[in-house]
């Protein structure tokens, strides 16, 4: 009985133990399966990620050409825009023609130019006649106008002795080499101003008349300029040395020359001189047209860096006198060449006008025959 009881107990224990082992084994197998399944799923899950990454790389790579196109297109657009801007920049500027700016059939290689029939005041040719330019030594024509006016009125005499101050003797630019304390006649100083373009001579006479101050003389110059009709000119010294705001125009200079020569025709004797000597120093007239161009007997040249080479020149042929103005030539040679052309063309224009008038009178049926 005891054996059977022991045997029954063992069976009971075994029955209790064996299902648990089997369950554990099954669950172990299932765990392994689940683990491998989850690993497989993990691998599968990671595979799309890799695919996505790979796809992203491909997309990134494939997007480069489009970006390149976009950049290239942007460059093209920029080029187009810059080209359009360049075309706009090159667009012609609308220029307003100056009054009486008549270039005729030829132009002049200078900043401004004008030819006038002095007797009638008729402008035969004009190129930028109202362009403001520093006058340089053309200023001296106005200085000489004031001095001749004072002589004409009896307030000065050609033999008047003028003392030379230190300031006058130290004037820069072209001079007649005046010395401090020197006593020089007005006539001598005027010749020096007209022929040698003496800056020191201008200061000497202006100081003398202004009792040591040049300003009263300069004020008289500006009053006279306005009286003559020089509407666009302003002067700050008597010689034309550089000064801020000191300006003139071709038209104004022609008006000055016309008024000066009509009132003081005797001055051409002085202006036509080719050289001048003072203190044993010979100075040559810089008007190179004297003796080269028929009929030229004056008037004045000038130069400062701000303007270039200037000249007011006058010539007489027959009963016609012309005044030509050149402002802003690049050098002396161009100044001489263009001034010569203006004189020659001016006389041709006058001759053509006179010929036309003769033809017109001859063809006029209403014209009475001479008695």
For the record, the structure tokens of 275 come out as: 């050289």
Whether residue 162 contacts residue 208, with contact meaning beta carbons closer than 8 Å, is answered with: yes
**Which long-range contacts does 99-104 make (Cβ < 8 Å, 24+ apart)?**
99/129, 99/130, 100/126, 100/129, 100/251, 101/126, 101/127, 101/128, 101/129, 102/126, 103/127, 104/345, 104/349
Nearest to 265, CA basis, from 321, 220, 326, 318:
321
For the record, the structure tokens of 73 come out as: 């297109």
Residue 169's H or E segment, with its range, is: helix 166-169
- Please pick, among 140, 174, 272, 286, the residue that the annotation labels catalytic: 140
CA distance 192 to 214: 18
| Burial of 169: CB neighbours in 10 Å, binned 0-12, 13-18, 19+ | middle
28 counts as catalytic: no
Could you give the dihedral angle defined by the CA atoms of residues 4, 6, 9 and 11, in that order, rounded to the nearest 10 degrees?
-70
Residue listed under structure tokens 């130069």:
303
- Please pick, among 137, 174, 233, 307, the residue that the annotation labels catalytic: 137
- Please pick, among 197, 233, 272, 286, the residue that the annotation labels catalytic: 197
68 counts as catalytic: no
368 counts as catalytic: no
Just list the catalytic residues.
137, 140, 197
């Amino acid at each position: 009985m005891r054996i059977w009881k022991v045997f029954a107990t063992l069976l009971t224990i075994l029955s209790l133990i064996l299902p648990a082992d089997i369950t554990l084994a099954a669950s172990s197998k299932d765990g392994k399966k689940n683990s491998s399944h989850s690993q497989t799923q993990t691998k599968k899950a990671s595979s799309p990620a890799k695919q996505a990454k790979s796809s992203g790389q491909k997309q990134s790579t494939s997007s480069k050409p489009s970006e390149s196109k976009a950049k290239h297109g942007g460059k093209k657009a920029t080029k187009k825009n810059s080209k359009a801007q360049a075309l706009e920049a090159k667009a012609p500027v609308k220029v307003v023609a100056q009054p009486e700016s008549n270039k005729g059939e030829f132009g002049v290689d200078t900043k401004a130019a004008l030819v006038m029939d002095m007797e009638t005041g008729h402008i035969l040719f004009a190129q930028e006649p109202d362009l403001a330019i520093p006058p340089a030594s053309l200023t001296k024509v106005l200085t000489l106008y004031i001095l001749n006016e004072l002589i004409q009125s009896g307030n000065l005499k050609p033999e008047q002795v003028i003392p030379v101050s230190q300031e006058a003797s130290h004037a820069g630019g072209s001079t007649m080499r005046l010395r401090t304390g020197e006593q020089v006649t007005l006539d001598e100083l005027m010749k020096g101003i007209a022929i040698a373009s003496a800056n020191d001579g201008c200061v000497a006479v202006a100081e003398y008349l202004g009792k040591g101050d040049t300003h009263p003389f300069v004020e008289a110059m500006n009053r006279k300029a306005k009286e003559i009709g020089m509407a666009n000119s302003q002067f700050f010294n008597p010689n034309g040395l550089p000064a801020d705001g000191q300006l003139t125009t071709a038209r104004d200079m022609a008006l000055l020359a016309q008024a000066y020569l009509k009132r003081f025709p005797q001055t051409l004797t002085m202006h036509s001189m080719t050289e001048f000597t003072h203190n044993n120093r010979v100075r040559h007239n810089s008007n190179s047209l004297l003796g080269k161009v028929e009929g030229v007997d004056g008037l004045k040249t000038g130069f400062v860096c701000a303007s270039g080479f200037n000249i007011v020149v006058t010539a007489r042929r027959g009963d016609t006198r012309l005044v030509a103005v050149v402002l802003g030539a690049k050098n002396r040679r161009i100044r001489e060449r263009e001034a010569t052309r203006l004189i020659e063309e001016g006389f041709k224009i006058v001759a053509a006008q006179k010929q036309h008038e003769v033809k017109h009178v001859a063809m006029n049926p209403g014209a009475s025959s001479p008695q």
